[in-house]
Amino acid sequence: MKKTTLKDWAEEFIPLEKLDFVPRSFEIVGDIAIVEIPIEIEDYDKKIGDALLKVNTAIKVVLKKSGIHKGEFRTQDLIWIAGENRKETLYLENGIKLKVNPETVYFSPRLSTERAFLSEQVIANSRVLVMFSGCGPYTFNILKKQPNVKLIDSVEINPEGHKYALENLNLNRNLLKKSDKFKEKIENLKKEKKVINEKQIIEEINNEIIHFYCADIRKAMINELNGKKYDEIFMPLPKDAELFLDCAFSLGDKNCIVHMYDFLHENEFPHKSENAVIEAAKKVGFKVGILSTRKVGQYSPRKYRVCCDFKIL
């Protein structure tokens, strides 16, 4: 019989009584597979890695999870076990390119549908802020779906995340070629019969519209973002976003839409996030309208990653 799953291959080297510990699923970021290997079969980790390379020939590297996402940067330790000896990869998502090292920068491919869903709703001419922007997945998804944003600022505290965001800006530099601004500039140059240097024009528009800042959002608020106001704010830090709601109230203009991520137990859904937003607003004298609180993925048994979408009134 043809071997198709990891378990099929594992039968060759893992004793029968331990076969049930073989992971049924694993995460793929670009050409890297990230697998959680239970302690009961950790002696076989290298063989499991080699087997994964056979299960899916697009996988070139296998990394083993060693602990959970932790610390301010929300990163996780990953141990190389098979394939090419590297941890950096190029990931394609919804028509954008993202270079990332999933050990040094938080990144989850599981959120790609959520990013596409929210990006589709961004309105033309919006001023957008992505707090906690990592290597830039929200930023570039938004630019792909709505190239006519007025501006998009992204703030990330992890210098590695910021470094990748800048590299990814380079990889996605042509997204704004679909913008009205780009088309207008080209039209005007044609009318004036001037030389058209597309590369230079796209560079100018990117510099005008897209800004990445490596900073703590609280510090950025009083430095780089001082005096700025936004129409839409993304807060993709489910563990702690709630603690930064005051920043959203300071930076959001009237009618600004905010997307705050959170982790909720099913008994707390959706009131806990919604109450946190309402209470935080009250504290700083603002009114809010809750638009929706959505489950965007399972975090652990009976616990969900959720997004509370609300409007600053």
Helix then strand then coil, in percent of the chain rounded to 5, is 40, 30, 30
User: Closest CB to ligand SAM among 157 and 205?
Assistant: 157
User: Closest CB to ligand SAM among 37 and 111?
Assistant: 111
**29-58: which residues touch ligand SAM (CB under 6 A)?**
none
**235-294: which residues touch ligand SAM (CB under 6 A)?**
236-237
217 binds ligand SAM (CB under 6 A): yes
Give which of 100, 97, 102, 58 is closest to 80, Cα–Cα: 102
Tokens of 183: 């088309």
What span, in angstroms and rounded, lies between the C-alpha atoms of 278 and 214?
Answer: 29
107 binds ligand SAM (CB under 6 A): yes
Furthest C-alpha separation in the chain: 77
Where are any strands of DSSP class E within 177-251?
210-214, 230-235
Where are any strands of DSSP class E within the chain?
27-29, 32-35, 61-70, 75-83, 89-93, 96-100, 127-131, 151-156, 210-214, 230-235, 252-265, 288-300, 303-312
- The residue within the footprint of ligand SAM, chosen from 158, 168, 172, 206 (CB under 6 A), is 158
What span, in angstroms and rounded, lies between the C-alpha atoms of 252 and 154?
Answer: 14
User: Closest CB to ligand SAM among 9 and 213?
Assistant: 213
**64-83: which residues touch ligand SAM (CB under 6 A)?**
72-74
Residue 44's H or E segment, with its range, is none
Q: Give the range of 22-30, 39-47, 127-135, 203-211 binding ligand SAM by CB under 6 A.
A: 127-135
User: Closest CB to ligand SAM among 44 and 164?
Assistant: 164
Residue 220 Cβ vs ligand SAM, minimum distance, rounded to whole Å = 7
8 A C-beta contact, residue 193 and residue 134: no
Q: Give the range of 9-17, 18-26, 130-138, 167-175 binding ligand SAM by CB under 6 A.
A: 130-138
Cα angle: 216, vertex 219, 220; to 5 degrees:
80
Residue 27 Cβ vs ligand SAM, minimum distance, rounded to whole Å = 13
106 binds ligand SAM (CB under 6 A): yes
Q: Give the range of 13-21, 128-136, 187-195, 198-206 binding ligand SAM by CB under 6 A.
A: 128-136
What span, in angstroms and rounded, lies between the C-alpha atoms of 257 and 206?
Answer: 24
Please, which residues bridge with residue 101 across strands? none
114 binds ligand SAM (CB under 6 A): no
Number of residues that bind ligand SAM (CB under 6 A): 21
Q: Give the range of 33-41, 53-61, 120-128, 150-158 binding ligand SAM by CB under 6 A.
A: 150-158
133 binds ligand SAM (CB under 6 A): yes
Q: Which residue's C-beta sits nearest to ligand SAM?
A: 134
**3-state secondary structure (DSSP) of residue 146:** coil
Residue 128 Cβ vs ligand SAM, minimum distance, rounded to whole Å = 13
* Contact positions vs ligand SAM (CB under 6 A): 72-74, 106-108, 111, 132-134, 137-138, 155-158, 161, 216-217, 236-237
